[in-house]
Structures are given as C-alpha cells and as structure tokens.
Structure 1
Amino acid sequence: MALRRSGDALNFPILIGDIGGTNARFAILVDAYAEPKHFPIVQTADFENIDEAIQVSVLDKTSLRPQSAVLAVAGPIDGDEIDLTNCPWVVRPKVMIETLGISEIVVMNDFEAQALAISALKEESRTEIGGGIVREGASRAVLGPGTGLGVAGLVRARNMWIPVAGEGGHIDIGPRTSRDMEIWPHLTPIEGRISGEQVLCGRGLVNIYRAICTTKNVEPAYSTPASVTDAAIKKGDAEAEEAINLFATYLGRMAGDIALIFMARGGVFIAGGIFQRLIPVIKKEEVRSAFEDKAPHSALMKEIPLYVVTEPLAALVGLATFARTPRFFGLETTGRRWVA
C-alpha cells in the first residue's frame, strides 16, 4: 500500500458512503463540480457486509466506476479491520480495494462527517432553537441521536476546518430535577452507569418511556422508538408525550455540555433523523432553557446558537465537501487511508 498525505486530492469518480448502525447511504461524485448521484438507502441488516451492499446497491446499478471512496462509519477506526459499534459489519479496506476495483479508500468516523457537514451547511438546512450570535471562525460542535449517540467538534486553525471525533456519546449523564430523581432509578444502565447513549438514542427513548411507566405503575404499551414517537405526535398518550419532552430536554442539556467543552461560539448542531421528526411536537423553549442552564456560565450560553440540522443526508454533504477539496480540511488520515 502506498503512502499519501492527508491533503492529497482524490481521483474521481468518488464513492461516498455514510454507514450507521441501521442504515447505509451511498452516492457517487463524478467530479468536483457535479452534485452527488444518490442511491436508495439500504438496511445494513439486509447485507452480510459492506462489500456486498456496495456491489448490489451501487455498482450493479450504474456504469460509473469509482476510483476512490470516502466512507464514514459508526465506530472507532483502529487498524485494517474496522468494527461498527451497533452493526455486525466489519469494514476491511484492503479487501475492498482487491474485490471492488477501488484504488483508494479513506475511512472516517460518522460524526467526523457530520462535523464536516456543519462547516458548509446552508441556512435552509437548519432550524434555530432560541437566539445566539454566530462567531465566524469559532469552534462548532455537533451531536446526534440515532442508533447510538454521536458527538464531534469542528475547530478552525491554519485556514482549515479540523473535525475532532470521539466517543462523547458515552459520557455520564445524571438527574437534575425532582422528576429526574424519580425516573433515574428505573432506567436500564450499562455496566452500572447511565451514559448519554443510554437515554439519548433510539433505545434510549424507549428506556425513558419504560422508566416513566414504572414510576406511574402503567404497563408500557410501546416497545420501539417509532411507536413511542408516533404516540406522542398523535397526542393522547401521557407517558409517550412525557418521554418525548424529557428526551428533548436531556438532549438540550447535553448539547449545552458539549458547547462548553468545545467553546462552540460558532454554534451547536443537533443532527439525526430522530430529532428532526420531533421538531413539530417538542417544547423548543424548554430545550433552549436546558441548553443555557449552565451556571456559572449561563450568560455565555445565551450567546451560543443552537440548531437542528434538517438536511436528511447531512453526512453525505460533509463527505462530498471533503472529497472535492481535501486540502481545505485538517483531517488526519494516517492509518485511515488505504491505496492500492
């Protein structure tokens, strides 16, 4: 395998892919100026591995032959075999180069892709919650509940945007109000603790809902994130509605914590399909209040913008932005770039 520098240009056409725990989204960039050619979203459970998914859902559907690939995966990247956190797929770039005819592959964390997206997100692709002032060139941050809870930062240095990935979704989260104190003992922990991801993802929403039912001696009527959400949207189910409201409040709290960690004066962005769907029913003022309630820095928090990303394919937007001009981004690709 040859060595390449992080900012070296990629050869077109470029396959871009956002691989989460449940869904995989693919597109092809023909050149630096073309809009991506998108392919239907696929379920990871429908394919044995990513190689099969790319072959069947992309390569068999087009005459375009990608020369390079930029892939975002939901999991840490360490070595030539990359395990996804909430999916049985293992990404093996060396094998993909041999079997799919792609000469170069860059792999990044899925929330690095979300961070890249917020470097160039259009105004119509976001909804603001509350006020705040965008400081141009200041750090930004993104978090998003989905199959898990992703967190990343975006910092500006040396005229480049630099995504900062991590596993921030697994930090501890604790009770704050008297109602929280009632609910917390009934949340299902992970190895004895409540992490952000235990309450702020699809299964986390169900976790909150079940805990609420327990405190009220009510038998849970729903067992999936979609069914809890549907019940809350339709109104009339008190436990589902409270679960949605608390989910949104807890997400606002954590967004505020992430804002402080990154000093994100450029804004904090909530990504992911779950929260997009909740926008019509959540109490935005409560989300904003939870975001700002960070004594002794509440005054600082009032100045930081909070957005919901409404672009459904934001990660692909971020991947395309990077793929067109890698030199504009300080994405370290050592150990994450494979060349035939």
Structure 2
Amino acid sequence: MSLTLDSGQALKFPILVGDIGGTNARFAILIDAFADPKTFPVAQTADYATLDDAIQACVLDKTSLQPKSAVLAVAGPIDGNEIDLTNCPWVVRPRAMLETLGLDEIIVLNDFEAQALAVSSLPETSRRKIGGGTPHEGASRVVVGPGTGLGVAGLVRARKMWIPVAGEGGHIDLGPRTERDRAIWPHLKTIEGRVSAEQVLCGRGLVNLYEAICRADGIEPVRVDPAEITEAAMTPGDPQSAEAVQLFSTYLGRVAGDLALIFMARGGVYIAGGIFQRLLPMVKPEALRQAFEDKAPHAALLQGIPLYVITEPLAALTGLATFARSPRFFGIETTGRRWTVSA
C-alpha cells in the first residue's frame, strides 16, 4: 500500500461518504458525478464496536453497490494510521479498512472541514437567515456547530478554489458579560479552572449551563440530559430550563461574532448541527443577532455580515459529496490523509 499525495486526482465511483461524529454516524453512496447521494439511516456510534462494523451493517449489508473509494469526515485529529475520535471510543484505521471493506482508496477529513465544504454551495432552501447583512461573493465564511462538542471551521477562497480551514476553535475562552453571567459563571463546570466555549455550547454544555443556572438561583437541578432540558423549556413552570436555552443562543451568538471577526467572514457565518436546529423554534432570533453584532468597536462591521442557521440535516454529507465529485475545485491537503491500494 502507498500514500497518494495528489489532492486533485479524481476519485473512483461509487464513492462512500461518511460523517462520523461523537454520537451519530451518517453515510451515503455517490454512484457517479451527477447522481444525488444515496443516503442510509443514521447509525448510533454506541451501537457498534468499530467504524468498520457500522459501515458493514448500515451500508454494505443494505445495498448491492460496492464502493471503490471513501471520503470520511471524523470528529478528531488526523495524525497517523490510527485516528482516535474525540468523543467516541472508535479508532479509525484506514489501511485496515482498505482490505476489510474492499476499497481502493480512502480520504479522511476533519468533520468540520466537511461542514465548511457544505457552505461552499449551500442553497437558500437549506439555510435560514438571522437578521441583516449581505454576503460578499468569494469572501471568507465560517461554520460553527454545537453537537457532542463544539466544532469550528473557516472557508477561504484563493486561486479559484475553496479552502477549508479546520482547527479547535470550540476551545476558545468564553467569559461573562452581564451581571447575570457573573452570577452563573462560578457554578459552571470547568476544565482546569477554564470555561471554554465547548463547556457551554454543546449537548453536555447545555446541561452544564442549566445546572449552573439552578445553583445560581439556589435550587437543586432536576434535569439530567439535553433533550429533557429542551422539552422542559417548551412548557411553563421551568424558568431555569427556559433560561438555559435562551442563554445558550446568546452565548452562541457571541462566539459566532468573534469568529466572524477572526476570519473577516463577509461571506457569512453559518450555525450547523442538529442541537441548534431543535432549539431554533424556542430562541429569540433578535437576541441571537444582537449578541452576534455586540462587538464594539466593530458593531457596524458585524451588522453587514450575514448570519445563517443551516437547516439541511445532512449538510456535511452534501459537502463531502461536492468534494468527492470534483476534488480539483477544493484546496484540501491530503498528505497523510489519503490511503490507497498500490496498483
């Protein structure tokens, strides 16, 4: 086996694309460059011992199609032939997968690179605009998504290519701004004394925020998971759950505004992930937008940058499929991230 370094080389169809998160794994097969991806039911990572088992049971056992290539996006750093997922016990072993799954080649990307690829061509019908702002054609874009963790990626345009820029932006500091924040912050669970954005803006972060609100109010928390908090927020009688949802939105708006400044994202900031899609009917869009723009001395700059919520549930798969069809249109470095079977 040898590593192929040419990022512009065409992939062989059919192509398996997979978005592997900490909780869920989503798969589709791209038959050719013109067909829509054939999707499969979402797999729960906890239900399978390995990624290979999940692909076999959820994809290969469900179709007569045999993929020749795979493009996988994983929630974790890609730093060798064994890739540990950040919030899941799976270990991705691409060289072994070539043999066990009968593939000719595999490309492994960061999960938020896939989200960034998606916003390169996301249609109006797959996003909801929050507030004003006008996107600039070809300008930088940012995607941020609360899920099992908090993912962040940028997308920049250069040399007629879109270039995704992945990192660990979810681990930036998140600090208090208001008196209410300052009452809540001492009760938040920290990492070595630090409150990162991911400590609040993800599934477990919503629980962390809810528990801190309860303790700031002098009451014992009774909700134990994000779904329970979300459901309670929709009914009268639980102001702590309702406040947790609203503050989650406000803090996400603040972080999104920070990222807009970092990337000068005049092409727009995109909020991805299923968690915020579920919260969207409950949050106040004007409060989200206000938090996004509240960046003195650059409030006027933020007012001109559009903010979107991605409403397409399989956006990452769409992004991977877009890349798989025409890799040459994207500036993705595949050195150390592409495995092939030698001819």
Distance 1:234 1:14 in 2: 45
- CA-to-aligned-CA distance 1:153-178 (integer Å, 9 cap, x gap): 00000000000000100111111111
Distance 1:6 1:284, change over 3 A: same
Aligned to 2:145: 144
SS at match of 1:27: strand
1:221, CA displacement in angstroms? 1.7
C-alpha deviation, 1:219, in angstroms: 1.6
1:161 aligns with 2:171: no
Q: Deviations over 1:100-148 (max 9, x none)?
A: 1011000000000000000010101000110001100000000000000
What does 1:202-217 align with in structure 2 at a 5 Å threshold?
Answer: 202-217=203-218
1:286 corresponding residue in structure 2:
287
Paired residue type of 1:334: T
1:116 aligns with 2:117: yes
Amino acid at match of 2:9: D
Match of 1:6 in 2: 7
Counterpart Cα distance in 1 of 2:76 and 2:53: 19
CA distance, structure 2, for counterparts of residue 39 and residue 145 of structure 1: 23
Matches for 1:177-326 after TM superposition, within 5 Å:
177-326=178-327
Q: Secondary structure at the match of 2:12?
A: coil
1:132 and 2:137 equivalent? no
CA 1:215/1:51 → structure 2, altered by over 3 Å: closer, same or farther? Answer: same
- Report the Cα distance in structure 2 between the residues aligned to 1:100 and 1:129, rounded to whole angstroms: 43
Q: Which residue of 1 aligns with 2:41?
A: 40
Amino acid at match of 1:15: L
Query: Is the CA contact (8 Å cut-off) linking 2:71 and 2:108 kept in structure 1?
Result: yes
Cα drift, residue 290 of structure 1? 0.5
Query: Where in structure 2 are there 5+ consecutive unaligned residues?
Result: none
Query: Which amino acid is 2:89 matched to?
Result: P
More divergent stretch after superposition (328-337 vs 213-222) = 213-222
2: distance between equivalents of 1:334 and 1:266?
28
Query: Relative to structure 1, is the Cα distance of residues 210 and 2 closer, same or farther in structure 2, using a 3 angstrom cutoff?
Result: closer
In structure 1, what is the Cα distance between the partners aligned to 2:8 and 2:90? Answer: 28
Using the TM superposition, give the Cα deviation of residue 63 of structure 1 relative to its aligned residue in structure 2, in angstroms.
Answer: 0.6
CA distance in 2 between counterparts of 1:149 and 1:234 reads 27
Q: Partners in 2 of 1:235 and 1:109 — Cα distance?
A: 40
- 2:8 partner amino acid: G
Distance in 2 between residues matched to 1:173 and 1:332, nearest whole Å: 31
CA distance in 2, matches of 1:153, 1:292: 19
Using the aligned pairs only, state the percent identity: 72
Q: 2: CA distance between counterparts of 1:215 and 1:167? A: 30
Aligned to 2:70: 69
Q: Report the alpha carbon displacement of residue 4 of structure 1 after superposing the two structures with TM.
A: 3.6
Q: 1:153 and 1:164 mapped to 2: Cα distance?
A: 5
The letter of the residue matching 1:108 is L
Letter in 2 for 1:37: K
Report deviation, 1:234: 2.6
Alignment partner of 2:144: what SS?
Answer: strand
Contact kept, 8 Å, 2:154 with 2:263, in 1: the verdict is yes
Alignment TM-score, normalising by the size of structure 1: 0.99
Structure 2 counterpart of 1:297, one-letter code = H
Asked if 1:330 is matched to 2:331, the reply is yes
The one-letter code of the counterpart of 1:128 is K
Q: How many residues align?
A: 340
Matched residues in 2 for 1:235 and 1:15: separation? 46
CA distance, structure 1, for counterparts of residue 84 and residue 218 of structure 2? 40
Q: What letter corresponds to residue 75 of structure 1 in structure 2?
A: G
Q: Distance in 2 between matches of 1:196 and 1:239?
A: 20
Q: Which residue of 1 aligns with 2:176?
A: 175
Kindly report the root-mean-square deviation, in angstroms, between the aligned alpha carbons of the 2 structures: 0.7
Cα distance in 2 between the residues matched to 1:94 and 1:338 = 7
Matched, 1:100 2:101: yes
Q: Is the 8 A contact 2:20 2:73 kept in 1?
A: yes
Deviation at 1:2, TM superposition (A): 4.3
Mapped to 2, the partners of 1:4 and 1:158 lie a distance apart of 19
Asked if structure 1 preserves the Cα contact closer than 8 Å seen for 2:3 and 2:338, the reply is no
Cα deviation code 1:182-212 (max 9, x no counterpart): 0000000012211110000000000000000
Secondary structure in 2 matching 1:334:
coil
